[in-house]
Amino acid sequence: MTPRTMYRKIWESHLVREAPGEPSLIYIDRHLVHEGTSPQAFAGLKAAGRKVRRPDLAFAVMDHSVPTKNRNLPILDAAANGQFEALERNCREYGITLFDMFSHNQGIVHVIGPELGITQPGQTIVCGDSHTSTHGAFGTLAFGIGTSEVEHVLATQCLSQYESKTMHIVVNGKRGKGVSAKDIILAIIGKIGIAGGTSHVVEYSGEAIRGLSMDGRMTVCNMSIEGGARAGMIAPDDTTFAYMEGRPYVPRGKEFQEAVGRWKALATDPGAKFDATVELNANDLAPQVTWGTNPGMVSGVTGRVPDPASFRDPDDQKAVARALEYMGLKPGTAVVDIPVDRVFIGSCTNSRLNDLRAAARVVAGKHVSKNLKGALVVPGSMSIKAKAEAEGLDKIFIDAGFEWRDAGCSMCIAMNPDVLPPGERAASTSNRNFEGRQGKDSRTHLVSPIMAAAAAIEGHFVDIREWNVEAPE
């Protein structure tokens, strides 16, 4: 048999119907739903008199607009509240499991899927959210869809899809001390560009990827979409199985062992062909900081803000000039000389327990800079929050001058009250530095959790390697 990629294996095992000249119908194993992109889908379903085919395969959560403090108080944002109520109504009406704002399992949709064991290797997973690519860290085919497709999956449990091209990104070598999964993926995007992965599904492999914990692998796969890729995936291995065992939706005992057997067979066969291959070495990788208005505008922390004239393509020159104007940065400024006003540690990229542990190690016994206007830690889920508190991390952060919040998307997208004010500059562990992403006229620098933590202490970026601290596993 011809050797197959993991993507191809999952694709083949989900084919419901194939016909020449038409997209294929593929079966969807898990449909994750949140309040932001689902109301119109449910409304469309209702208007057409259709039912939800498999409510047991859908899981809903409130995350995008939820407040991260004082949840017992009434929600003043009527539009957000309307979406919460709609989600609750729709889930009740169609029999879909919902983790609402008061559930102790509530959290960011891409954090709770893996955490509860809803995400399992070999599955197809979709969600009306581009960072669905996160779940690929378990060897799943997981990708974001629009609201019309959310409706399509609700009605049919299938999607009409063309097979994607495949890209193999191999990260060789070992990360140095202070270098995180976040730095690996930012460096990859810097290398391939934000459209480099367009129409491809990426598989990550290599020593540096294997060496990551599941938390780190999720960080990498999470930002696949920022490189333009449809999805990102990593073959499941013992790290994956150890993470999964005992989680609520994961089978137990003999069933688990049998499942592991099936999951092991998912790995790409030796000799399987990819449409493109990119190689990177982690050995000489520096911590990364974005300076512009997309995740590909990134540099090592020892670098400087570039001069637009140094780009060859006139479109790039214009884009960089515009980005620097928006960011209020001068060409030639050393990255470590960029001051920050606020720090945000959170989002589906970097809000898991290993991220919080590593950031806490950086700030323990220190205090945030007096120039800082605010520093926020927002755990990815209420369960991570509880575990962090059991380890005393909340106390470390609060003593250092951080606010410790309830779980949600928070300042990653600023749909709740956690907004970065106009003109202010944040060191953020999230995934998008687009204009206005964290608030109108706000300025975002994407970094790893330990880089963000150190920036909070110093009031500007620092090369965390000089602090001799461990990066998140």
* Structure token pair of residue 413: 């997208």
Strands (E), 19-130: 24-27, 30-34, 58-61, 97-99, 124-127
Stretch that binds ligand SF4, among 77-85, 106-114, 163-171, 399-407 (CB under 6 A): 106-114
Identity of the residue, 65 or 401, whose beta carbon is nearer to other proteins in the bound complex: 65
Distance of closest approach, residue 354 Cβ to ligand SF4, in angstroms: 17
Are 31 and 113 in contact by the 8 Å Cβ rule? The answer is no
Cβ atoms of 287 and 451 closer than 8 Å: yes
Residue 412 within binding range of ligand SF4, rule CB under 6 A: yes
Distances (CA, A) of 90 to 29, 38, 44, 51: 20, 9, 12, 11
Decide: is 235 part of the binding site for ligand SF4 (CB under 6 A): no
At its nearest, how many Å lie between other proteins and the CB of residue 472?
25
Binds 347, which of ligand SF4, other proteins, none (CB < 5 to 8 A, cut-off by type)? Answer: ligand SF4
Q: Provide the token pair at 326.
A: 């928006």
Out of 14, 31, 64, 152, name the contact with ligand SF4 by CB under 6 A.
64
State which residue, 40 or 172, has the beta carbon closest to other proteins. 40
Q: How far apart are CA 424 and CA 300, in angstroms?
A: 22
Q: How many CB atoms lie within 10 A of CB 390?
A: 9
348 binds ligand SF4 (CB under 6 A): yes
Stretch that binds ligand SF4, among 93-101, 103-111, 337-345, 445-453 (CB under 6 A): 103-111
Residue 339 per-residue DSSP state: B
Residue given tokens 């800082």 in the structure block: 372
Beta carbon of residue 362, minimum distance to other proteins (angstroms, whole number): 29
Order the strands of the 443-446 sheet from edge to edge. 403-404, 374-377, 342-345, 425-428, 443-446
Minimum Å gap between C-beta 274 and ligand SF4 is 27
Considering only 14, 31, 131, 342, the residue that binds ligand SF4 (CB under 6 A) is: 131
DSSP β-ladder status, 425-428 and 342-345? parallel
User: Interaction with ligand SF4 in 137-196: which residues (CB under 6 A)?
Assistant: none
DSSP summary character for residue 441: T
**Which residue, 161 or 428, is less far from ligand SF4 as judged by CB?**
428
Residue with token string 């009434």: 74
348 binds, among ligand SF4, other proteins, none (CB under 5 to 8 A by kind): ligand SF4
| Contact between residue 299 and residue 335 where contact means Cβ atoms under 8 Å apart | yes
How far apart are alpha carbons 438 and 425 in whole angstroms?
A: 10
Instruction: Report in angstroms how near the CB of residue 79 gets to other proteins at its nearest.
Output: 4
Q: Which partner from the list other proteins, ligand SF4, none does 76 bind, CB cut-off 5 to 8 Å by kind? A: none
Q: 312: buried, middle or exposed (CB in 10 Å: 19+, 13-18, 0-12)?
A: exposed
Q: How many binding residues for ligand SF4 (CB under 6 A)?
A: 14
The interaxial angle of helices 39-47 and 78-94, nearest 10 deg, is 50
Task: Answer yes or no whether residue 431 interacts with ligand SF4 by CB under 6 A.
Answer: yes
Closer of 409 and 453 to ligand SF4 (Cβ): 409
The answer to whether 259 and 251 are in contact (CB under 8 A) is: yes
CA end-to-end span of the chain: 38
Q: Which does 414 bind (CB under 5 to 8 A by kind): ligand SF4, other proteins, none?
A: other proteins
Instruction: Give 324 or 415: the residue with its C-beta nearer to ligand SF4.
Output: 415
Quote the least distance from Cβ 401 to other proteins, whole Å.
28
**Within 10 A of 284 (CB to CB), how many other CB atoms are there?**
9
Considering only residues 349 to 368 of the shown chain, the ones binding ligand SF4 according to CB under 6 A are none
Site for ligand SF4 (CB under 6 A): which residue of 52, 376, 413, 447? 413
Segment contacting ligand SF4 by CB under 6 A, of 102-110, 238-246, 308-316, 369-377: 102-110
Nearer to other proteins, 31 or 460 (CB): 31
Nearer to other proteins by Cβ, of 48 and 390: the residue is: 48
CB-CB neighbours of 74 under 10 Å: 6
Mark the segment that binds ligand SF4 (CB under 6 A) among 267-275, 329-337, 357-365, 406-414. Answer: 406-414
**Which range binds ligand SF4 by CB under 6 A, 89-97, 113-121, 169-177, 405-413?**
405-413
Minimum separation from the CB atom of position 204 to other proteins (A): 18
DSSP 107: B
Copy the structure tokens of residue 63: 């995350």
Closest CA to 446 of 183, 228, 141, 269: 183
Element (H, E) at 47: helix 39-47
Chain residues in the site for ligand SF4 (CB under 6 A): 63-64, 108-110, 129, 131, 347-348, 409, 412-413, 430-431
